[in-house]
Structure 1
């Protein structure tokens, strides 16, 4: 197996391990591993203990699986490119669920919410004076799509009649199709579909219900504004990088006849690095942004804590299911960005469309 194929086998599980290791740092202090806690308990020993154990498990087991999987991929004819990331992801999710359960158990046993005033808060200015959607940052994706399409038109006459449309992990073509508009421009159609879907998701998430802290509502509203803009920008830049990867794949189909896994992965890695960098600087819901608005004066604490709502988060705390909540998307409990309200039928329909359209597009193209 060549170095490109080895890179293709090692990079996806490595990225999953890195993202999983970073994830606990993105959540606010009142949501360790997706467990809602009072701010006064943010320094509880069990939280630091579980964070350390989680990162040790993710780092050690993830690195071990990557090494073993890469060696097996290099020494056996079996393909591990799909199984290895799935296995690493399963390990990371299991470690997260274990840490979450341990914190939730201590929270329950010690009755952390006993005697506290719980509440929710809203800021009407987020609707009357909303932030503008950052449409400008969709231009890189549009330019990449346009460049790929124009290149396809120019090289179309010289494209071979039997066109390579799929490549194995070593970069060699293993499926061919007859030259046609659909086959030649299949990746251009994919670029349009992926970018459109990411823009749609960004637009809906930009208007999702904010998670404001009733203890400091004004400050959390300011954080939410900056978080929403930065998160959408990161998604739009990721779309451009994904389009660039598909553009590399299209050029390989048209002119080269062989795919370089490293060249395809490089733009995607750049996009993920942008998302992770913005996430680390911003934090989920703006939790890593400075507390003061600029003059150094901290907002006084109202004495109200956020409502304890763990019962709506299922599994490892990653699935939000609340039939009484009309929201389509809500902020994640861990990681960066938003997730669907799986208790809302409209959200389920939107999720089905987002998953189904990318699966249908290649069939239409061919």
Structure 2
């Protein structure tokens, strides 16, 4: 039942995040549309959030109950339980995006028809002094992790004769390897190589975010600046935590491949479960911390006839940011917690997609 419980916890986490996400984000950006503070109490704005959350909660409960009954009453393999559980998570996210697209269109049309914010003067605030207060983790933290896969690669080659003829490439929910490839000079170091690429990806994402601009509210500059600084700090901590945990897990898997039987099945399973739980708990804490910052109201969209710059025109569907005049590689998401690419900046594509292609390449040829 390990496969069921892992999937059950993941479905619960994804579902809860999707249900409450409209209330976790910046109040003046609703379903990817900038809403002036004078219209935040508009009936459509209030109903859109409520209907979305109720609908997603109902669908989530039906899927969760259905999956639980199927897994408990019908004897299935753990692999199949995880496959179906993963499919349910993706289905839930697809459904939530369909609801998002519907409400995004409704709000965008009403905003255009009623000219929300047309009588306000847009003002952009730039404060270069904030760079000195930025507490995002330095690149050296991520570089330090890179020593681990390098040492593992060297150690693996020294212990090449001890390695089995079949190298594990996949581990099941019970912590045991269930897919293998033939031993060669490349396949034996594929796991440390993937680890190294993933560390580079997290380092590049953090550094790109660090160099991106901070959007400061024209009304309450101090509160807005504080939120930006804290969000960036939390983001870098969460990135490093994830990279650190991946380093520990992959190192453990590599060492157990070299020294097979060094630990029992129970320890393997415990490490896998601990890894998943720590990532989930870290994600929850990160989400709560970020959402709590939004409780620091700044009413940045309406005051004294001025407003922040409305950049809706740069957001395609409220999800994809295209602004060639913005040097930032990454910007805050409008729907979801975290950061997304400025798709008008080619370097962003390189940072995100090149490591993924390299990992797929390693996995294919290993």
- Once the two structures are TM-superposed, the CA of residue 110 in structure 1 deviates from its matched residue by 3.2
**Which residue among 205, 208, 212 is the counterpart of 1:204?**
208
Structure 2: how far apart are the matches of 1:311 and 1:281? 29
Q: Is the CA contact (8 Å cut-off) linking 1:209 and 1:327 kept in structure 2?
A: yes
1:160 partner SS: coil
2:179 partner SS: strand
- Once the two structures are TM-superposed, the CA of residue 84 in structure 1 deviates from its matched residue by 2.5
Structure 2: how far apart are the matches of 1:25 and 1:150? 49
1:261-311 superposed Cα distances (whole Å, 9 cap, x missing partner): 774253133123223313322339x534587xxxxxxxx956421222222
- Once the two structures are TM-superposed, the CA of residue 81 in structure 1 deviates from its matched residue by 4.7
The Cα RMSD (Å) is: 3.5
Indicate the residue corresponding to 1:287 in structure 2.
294
- Once the two structures are TM-superposed, the CA of residue 340 in structure 1 deviates from its matched residue by 0.7
Structure 2: how far apart are the matches of 1:274 and 1:65? 25
> How has the CA–CA distance of structure 1 residues 160 and 113 changed in structure 2, closer, same or farther, with 3 Å as cutoff?
same
Indicate the residue corresponding to 1:119 in structure 2.
123
1:16 partner SS: helix
- Once the two structures are TM-superposed, the CA of residue 22 in structure 1 deviates from its matched residue by 3.5
Q: Is the CA contact (8 Å cut-off) linking 1:216 and 1:302 kept in structure 2?
A: no
> How has the CA–CA distance of structure 1 residues 280 and 172 changed in structure 2, closer, same or farther, with 3 Å as cutoff?
closer
Structure 2: unaligned runs, 5 residues or longer: none
1:238 partner SS: helix
Indicate the residue corresponding to 1:58 in structure 2.
56
Indicate the residue corresponding to 2:137 in structure 1.
134
Q: Is the CA contact (8 Å cut-off) linking 2:331 and 2:341 kept in structure 1?
A: yes
> How has the CA–CA distance of structure 1 residues 171 and 90 changed in structure 2, closer, same or farther, with 3 Å as cutoff?
same
> How has the CA–CA distance of structure 1 residues 60 and 327 changed in structure 2, closer, same or farther, with 3 Å as cutoff?
same
Indicate the residue corresponding to 1:15 in structure 2.
13
1:17 partner SS: helix
- Once the two structures are TM-superposed, the CA of residue 7 in structure 1 deviates from its matched residue by 2.8
What is the total number of aligned residue pairs between the two structures? 352
Alignment map for 1:301-316 (pairs within 5 Å): 303-315=305-317
Indicate the residue corresponding to 2:339 in structure 1.
338
Structure 1: how far apart are the matches of 2:53 and 2:339? 23
Q: Is the CA contact (8 Å cut-off) linking 2:135 and 2:232 kept in structure 1?
A: no
TM-score (norm. length: structure 1): 0.81
- Once the two structures are TM-superposed, the CA of residue 198 in structure 1 deviates from its matched residue by 0.5
Q: Is the CA contact (8 Å cut-off) linking 2:211 and 2:328 kept in structure 1?
A: no
Structure 1: unaligned runs, 5 residues or longer: 292-299
Q: Is the CA contact (8 Å cut-off) linking 2:136 and 2:232 kept in structure 1?
A: no
